[in-house]
Structure 1
Amino acid sequence: MDISVVVPLFNEAESLPELTDWIRRVMKANGFTYEIILVDDGSNDGSWEVIGQLYEQNPFIRGIKFRRNYGKSAALNVGFEATRGDVVITMDADLQDSPEEIPELYRKIKEEKFDLVSGWKAKRYDPLSKTIPTKLFNAATRSMSGIHNLHDFNCGLKAYRKEVVKNIEVYGEMHRYIPVLAKWAGFTKITEQVVEHRSRKYGVTKFGFSRFINGFLDLLSIFFVGKFSKRPMHFFGTLGTLCFLTGLGIIVWLIGSKLYDIANHVKYRNVTDNTLFYIALVAVILGSQLFLTGFVAEMISRNSPERNHYQIDKTI
């Protein structure tokens, strides 16, 4: 099979017939063998019923339905697991991504041998409240990841070599940073393609202000995991050592000062009467805990067998 198109969706019943028909026409015009995997992320507007109707009309459509809303990352992760095509295309269900971009994305993967091609919506139809934070996040991600040739990490329209989606794990809000996940999995041939950004035709956006906070936290998480997951003690050990030695140094200085005062018959205070003693004690304890707490918490999270377990209600 040439292409798997993965479409995560939440309450997009109105746009699905037009989107799938558009994809079908593009595939037929270019002679591609394909499948469309529609992942219903707990919709409550009848999207699943529409998917069932579309499946009856087009056997190349497949559907996966979550029992509740887990988020776009979960939908993509499950969709990636279900793909069978040599090239995987992801796109949003709101008709803001054009299926006409698919042939060129496919060509870049198959002929130019890229691992991942990310869309870049150079001209956007979003309000400033969305575009300005997006630019800031993209700049921060470029700096932290070292992927300097991408302008828009979060564009939903992307193409992947099959091996990429089978070797990365998307969770939390990590769909924003899939190129970073791919790079740290060893897939370094990453480029971008300018794509059309269409104005939304149906419904309203499903993302609120919380996505900026979650996105920032996930950026920090992905930076730490990518840089220190194989050597976490380089991070926690360094901080722990600095805290421990700082606290120990203060205690040694306090004890030395007291001994000096005793030797010179100078009036002195008990070490425990000095505020610095308690600051030093906290530093020593904190330094010891840094060796354990953060490391254990991160490793438990990354190795939990339930982290990417989602309740799937139905499949087609």
Structure 2
Amino acid sequence: MDISVVIPLLNEQDSLKELHDWIVKVMQSNHFSYEIIFIDDGSTDDSWKVISNLATKNNNVKGIRFLKNFGKSQALHAGFDKAQGNVVITMDADLQDNPDEIPELYNMIVNERFDLVSGWKKKRYDSVVTKNMPSKLFNWAARKTSGVKLHDFNCGLKAYHSNVVKNIDVNGEMHRYIPVLSKNAGFTKIGEKIVKHQARKYGVTKFGMNRFLHGFLDLITIWFISRFGKRPMHLFGALGVLMFLIGLGFALYLGIDKLYLNKTGRLITERPQFYIALSTMVIGTQFFVAGFLGEIVLRSRQDKKRYLIKDELNL
């Protein structure tokens, strides 16, 4: 199979048929073999009913329905797990991503040998204050922290070689950082393509300003995981030893001063250095123990399913 189109969605009943027809038109005109995988992330409208009708009429349409809303990352994970195409395309269900971009994205993966190609919505139709400016700040921070030189980490329109989606673990809210996860996994040929952005036609956006706060927190998380995820003792142990040595240095100073230099007979507990020494040694010990426990957890953890599927279609 040439292409799997993975589409996570939440309450997008009005756009699904139009999106489906548009994708099918692109696939047929380019003679691609394909599948469209809709992942209903706990919709409360008639989205699943629409997907069921489309799957009845078109065997290339497949559906996954979550028991409740588990989040976009979990939806993408489920779609990646089921995808059978050599190239996997992800896109949003709100018609803001243009299916006409699919053939060129496909060619960049197959002919130009990219592992991943991310869309760049250079010209946007979103609010400048609530989306464009925060998004630019977020993308700047992501580039500086991760070393992946993309202009638009948040763009839902991306293309992947199948090896990529089968070998990365998208969890939590890490869907924004799939290019970083791919780079950390060894898939380093990452490209970018300017794509058309379209104004939302139906419904309202499901994302508010809080997604940027979550995005920055996730950025810190992925930076930590990429550098210390497999060796937490290297961070916490080093901090613990440093703090402990600082405290030990103060303690030695107090001891020497008490024995040889202090002429006033002042008690050690009356001096501020005593509390600095005590605090830093306790904190240092806690850091070291945290690193040690992190190593134990890392070696004993078992994978746990992060979502529950209620229904599947054509899978």
Q: TM-score of the superposition, structure 1-length normalised?
A: 0.95
Aligned counterpart, 2:180: 180
SS in 1 for 2:241: helix
Aligned counterpart, 1:84: 84
SS in 2 for 1:291: helix
Aligned counterpart, 2:143: 142
Q: TM-score of the superposition, structure 2-length normalised?
A: 0.95
Partners of 1:222 and 1:299 lie apart in 2 by 20
Q: Deviations over 1:185-228 (max 9, x none)?
A: 00000010000000000000001222112111110110011111
SS in 2 for 1:28: helix
**1:4·1:34 contact (CA, 8 Å) conserved in 2?**
yes
**2:116·2:161 contact (CA, 8 Å) conserved in 1?**
yes
Aligned counterpart, 1:275: 272
5 Å-filtered alignment, 1:1-316, equals 1-128=1-128, 129-148=130-149, 150-261=150-261, 266-293=263-290, 296=293, 300=297, 304-305=301-302, 307-316=304-313
SS in 2 for 1:168: coil
Report the more deviating stretch, 28-37 or 232-241: 232-241
Report the more deviating stretch, 8-17 or 272-281: 272-281
Partners of 2:135 and 2:239 lie apart in 1 by 31
Give the drift of 1:57.
1.3
Partners of 1:112 and 1:166 lie apart in 2 by 20
Partners of 2:212 and 2:265 lie apart in 1 by 54
**2:89·2:158 contact (CA, 8 Å) conserved in 1?**
yes
Report the more deviating stretch, 235-244 or 194-203: 235-244
Give the drift of 1:299.
7.0
Partners of 2:137 and 2:291 lie apart in 1 by 28
Any unmatched runs of 5+ in structure 2?
none
When residues 77 and 299 of structure 1 are mapped into structure 2, their CA distance, relative to the original with a 3 A threshold, is farther
CA RMSD, aligned part only? 1.6
Give the drift of 1:154.
1.2
**1:301·1:307 contact (CA, 8 Å) conserved in 2?**
no
When residues 132 and 303 of structure 1 are mapped into structure 2, their CA distance, relative to the original with a 3 A threshold, is farther
When residues 46 and 304 of structure 1 are mapped into structure 2, their CA distance, relative to the original with a 3 A threshold, is farther
SS in 2 for 1:292: helix
Q: Deviations over 1:125-163 (max 9, x none)?
A: 111211111111111111111112x11111100000000
Give the drift of 1:239.
1.3
Partners of 1:302 and 1:222 lie apart in 2 by 19
Query: Structure 1 counterpart of 2:89, which letter?
Result: I
Partners of 1:46 and 1:302 lie apart in 2 by 44
Partners of 1:30 and 1:298 lie apart in 2 by 51
When residues 96 and 36 of structure 1 are mapped into structure 2, their CA distance, relative to the original with a 3 A threshold, is same
Report the more deviating stretch, 229-238 or 26-35: 229-238
SS in 1 for 2:38: strand
Report the more deviating stretch, 268-277 or 13-22: 268-277
Partners of 1:294 and 1:66 lie apart in 2 by 36
When residues 208 and 308 of structure 1 are mapped into structure 2, their CA distance, relative to the original with a 3 A threshold, is farther
